[in-house]
A and B are shown apart, each in its own frame.
Chain A
Amino acid sequence: MAIKLNKVFYRSALIVTFLAINALVIYGLGAAWSFMNTGADKTSLLHLEVPMEDVYKPSINWINTDNPGRSMDKQALGEITNDYMNAWHVRNIAYKKNDKYGIEDFYTDSARVRLYDNIAMNLKNNNWFKRTTLSHNSALDFYTADGTMVVFKDYNVEEYQETYEGDQLVFKEKDTTSYQVMMLLEDGFWRIRHLKEIPNLKDTSNVSQRKIDDKIAKIKKSKGINYYPKDSPWDTFGKKFNDSIINQDFNIINDMGLNTIRVFIQYEDFGKNRVDHKKLALLKTLLDTAEKNNLDVLITLFDFYGDYDVSNWTLTHRHAETIVKAIKDHPALLGWDIKNEPDLDFDSRGRLRVLSWLEQMIENIKKWDNNHPITIGWSSPEAGIELADKVDFVSYHYYREPEAFLEEHNKLKSIVSDKPLVLQEYGYSSYSGIWNFYQSSPEAQFEYYQLMQNQLADASIPFLFWTLYDFENVPTSVAGSLPWKTQKQHYFGCIDLKGNKKEIFNILKQH
């Protein structure tokens, strides 16, 4: 018995060893084979330009490219600008992560040592920095005859920096600094060789005065609506955009005696930092239609944007800049609402992060357009105090008990007494169904509006209610996919799904 067992044991041991050795040999050969086949693609030697996604787009303006050396051509200037921006970007990322990644591509041997020293020290001290630059004004000093060296000044670079120690934000600052820069063209990359701070250029550009009084006067008399077309809610400028439907709707709104609409521009839908000119054309069509129907348009930017991180500030700037500059002279434009309900992102993104983003966006839009007031559509009257000294009028939304409205409004008014207040969103869903235990009804909606409109009229508070239509489809990105959350979103309108006017229509109609 024992012998037999032994025999079986030895036999199986032999077979297992045989298989194991085979497996090892095959694995070894395979590993050697794949090792021989790995390695950089040969074309990478050439450092060909790889198409990079836009990650860093501060505004850069070459104020002068005349120089006593080689004349600067557009192609070379583009490459220099690109690599100079990349140099800033990799440095910002390096200081954020305390990691050297990418530095060697955009700094020469001697320059990168300085950055490495700084990174090592910050790593040791447990510091890190979130930083970005917002605008550059560059003037060329010299471009060598063989096109391998360039020296320029970068004036009045607006820099924003947050200093962290561990997880703690210690300090944030914004300053303006000018630099003298020398870059060398080495194996296909323009790399920074020298960087030295120089005195700032005196800003000689006349900042023209803001003229917003007439718009503010209009806002104080605003009676309006948050507008989405019936068949494309939360997607005004999508595939279903139809100017005759919009004209029809605006006609209805105008007939109701309203004078203002609020529309939403989605950050991604409009092409992020490279704004789609087709979308802009649609926006212009909408504004033209509004003008024809005597409606003023409050534009809410950055809908469905929720990052606010310093590292993509510059991209949001380019987005806003393109849109603002494209339509700032349109007569139907009433003002800019930077973001819809940003206070709802305080928990997930951090209050300071959101506020910093909003603050610099306000500053920028003021710079690009000095004829239109700026606001932020806070989700509640309590949030209205945030940045109240920065906005031109305070907007808030109110979906709570109508009885408590006036009290809340007056509380906010007492705190921000010097700015007009606008009730930018309010409304009541007439949805009655299993998901809200049949708690609402068109009658309840009627009562709500009766109460609200009386209060608003008595206190002459400008208002924009939510909304014109009941909606058949509500995208999941708005209120999720849970029926008890989304169902009521379908029934906020004053015209129902069949196109009949609800009872509230007559209250909302202005006389």
Chain B
Amino acid sequence: MYIRIVIILCVLLASCSSNEKEPVIKTVLPDVMLESKKIDFIAGDSISITFKTDSSFEKLKLQVKNAYGSTLLTPKTINENKINFLVPKNYSRLAGPCRWQLLHDTEIVLKGVINITTNDIHQTHIESYFGPRSISAGPIDFSMLTVAPTDIYDNPLNDGTEVTVKYQFQEKINELKITTKSFFAWYNVNSTTKSGRILVTSECNSTTSKELATIVFPANATDFSINATSAHNFADGNQIITFKSDIIRDQFGNIVSNGTLVTFVIKNENDAYLYTIGTTLNGIAEAKTLHPDKASKWEIQAFITGAAESNTTNFDFKPAIHDYPVLFSKGNRNIDIGPFESFMKQLIPDGLLVQLDIYDADGKFIQSEKTTTKNGICNIFLGAHYLPEGNYILKLQAAGIKKEFRINIHGN
């Protein structure tokens, strides 16, 4: 009697609950048991998952999923009530959890995880990175070595794997052990006080990496000294004066890198600045410039911008030309200047600037004329269309020598 009531109640309940839900055509899930019990594997193992079932298994599929993706596998029948899924190589070789779900049509029947661990029995591969590849000498800079060892199937080795790092500088070879964490191990190779190359290599499970190098460049230059030399000290506008530094070094005594730019700044007696530039070779910078064309006093100082400066050196130029003749003709309209003779009576090089300032008789400025010498002489012609007849003051200036003439210009 009780049983009957219970049954009736059950039927009633069932009818009520089915009333409340969307009618879904539920497929009857087959009764499936996981046969294979092993869940821990090493990457590269052949993995197969076996199920025992008493009903049909045509509709069974296995979805496997790992960090890189998913796939659907179809079963192989072993015998009447056993099926087997072979996990493909691209899944069995990847270390990490591999999740599987046994599907019947669109429903999950069973699911589970197999753990695949890194294969550290076989050969290890090493990828190592080293950078920056150039650093500067001294206690601050460093290059970072990162080593990412993997197993034969490219799985990163487990945390705590020991990696031996060796680094060499000149005669000294250092060796130390570091351990991996989150795929890799790292070590900062500090810079040295001497410039040169640091070579590094690493080793893990008796596999060695390739050799990597960083170049230690000299640090910033320190203050240095310069000198100026020339064949003579006449201001002939022709000779070349050479400025030369001594060997420029950083604070650790390393010769600065070749090609370091050195600017030589020249100040003359009028506080006008000239500059010339040289780059270092084996620590020595050299720069050249022309002599001035009139007597000057030069103060020279060199700079490596932002880093170092030199002493100040002086160079005095004696006048090369002491005097020059001026000849007026053609009603004083034609002026022949020169020949200019240098310190050994030789003709000066072409291109000396000659300036003529013209004033009227009252001293009012009218005009300037400029010309340069050729073959030691030059000529200025003041045409009638340009200067009418009359009295003028002419002031001539060349090679630092000034001459003044009061003349009457006439004719044409």
**A110-B154, A194-B148 known; A121 and B88 CB under 8 Å?**
yes
Chain B positions near chain A (C-beta within 8 angstroms): 19-20, 22, 61, 63, 66-74, 88-90, 94-97, 101, 103, 105-106, 108, 129, 131-133, 142-144, 146, 148, 150, 154-156, 181-184, 186, 188
- Check: A510 CB closer than 8 A to any chain B CB: no
Shortest beta-carbon contacts, A-B, top 8: A146-B131, A145-B144, A117-B90, A118-B69, A197-B96, A197-B67, A141-B182, A146-B132
Which of B20, B103, B188 touches A415 (beta carbons < 8 Å)? B20
Q: List the B side residues contacting A144 at CB < 8 Å.
A: 129, 131, 144, 146, 186
Q: List the B side residues contacting A129 at CB < 8 Å.
A: 69-70
Which of B68, B74, B183 touches A115 (beta carbons < 8 Å)? B68
B103 and A170 contact, CB distance less than 8 A: yes
Q: Provide the bound-state CA to CA distance between A141 and B131, in Å.
A: 18
CB closest chain-A residue, reference B94: A114
Q: Interface residues of A: mostly helix, strand, loop or mixed?
A: strand
Which residues from 149 to 208 on chain A have a C-beta closer than 8 Å to any C-beta of chain B?
A: 149, 151, 153, 161, 163, 165, 169-171, 173, 177, 179-180, 182, 184, 193-197
B63 and A163 contact, CB distance less than 8 A: yes
Q: List the B side residues contacting A148 at CB < 8 Å.
A: 129, 131
Q: Provide the bound-state CA to CA distance between A149 and B156, in Å.
A: 15
B156 and A194 contact, CB distance less than 8 A: yes
Q: How many pairs of residues, A versus B, come closer than 8 Å at their CB atoms?
A: 111
Q: List the A side residues contacting B105 at CB < 8 Å.
A: 170
CB closest chain-A residue, reference B133: A146
CB closest chain-A residue, reference B142: A145
**A142-B186, A148-B131, A170-B103 known; A118 and B68 CB under 8 Å?**
yes
Chain A contact residue count (CB 8 A cutoff): 43
29 contacts between A and B (CB under 8 A): A91-B69, A114-B68, A114-B94, A115-B69, A118-B71, A118-B90, A121-B88, A125-B72, A125-B73, A127-B72, A142-B182, A144-B146, A144-B186, A145-B131, A145-B143, A149-B146, A151-B182, A161-B70, A163-B70, A163-B72, A165-B61, A165-B72, A170-B103, A171-B103, A180-B183, A184-B129, A196-B67, A196-B155, A415-B19
Q: Provide the bound-state CA to CA distance between A196 and B43, in Å.
A: 13
Q: Provide the bound-state CA to CA distance between A118 and B74, in Å.
A: 15
**A121-B71, A145-B188 known; A197 and B97 CB under 8 Å?**
yes
Which residues from 105 to 125 on chain A have a C-beta closer than 8 Å to any C-beta of chain B?
A: 110, 114-115, 117-118, 121-122, 125
Q: Interface residues of B: mostly helix, strand, loop or mixed?
A: strand
Q: Provide the bound-state CA to CA distance between A129 and B63, in Å.
A: 11
- Check: A69 CB closer than 8 A to any chain B CB: yes
Q: Provide the bound-state CA to CA distance between A401 and B68, in Å.
A: 55
Q: Provide the bound-state CA to CA distance between A153 and B67, in Å.
A: 13
Q: Provide the bound-state CA to CA distance between A383 and B54, in Å.
A: 40
Q: Which of A142, A161, A165, A385 has the most CB of B within 10 A?
A: A142
Chain B nearest Cβ from A352, distance in angstroms? 10
- Check: A446 CB closer than 8 A to any chain B CB: no
Residue-wise interface mask of A (412-426) relative to B, using a CB-CB cutoff of 8 A (1 in contact, 0 not) = 001101000000000
B156 and A196 contact, CB distance less than 8 A: yes
Chain A nearest Cβ from B304, distance in angstroms? 27
CB closest chain-A residue, reference B105: A170
Which of A182, A195, A415 touches B68 (beta carbons < 8 Å)? A195
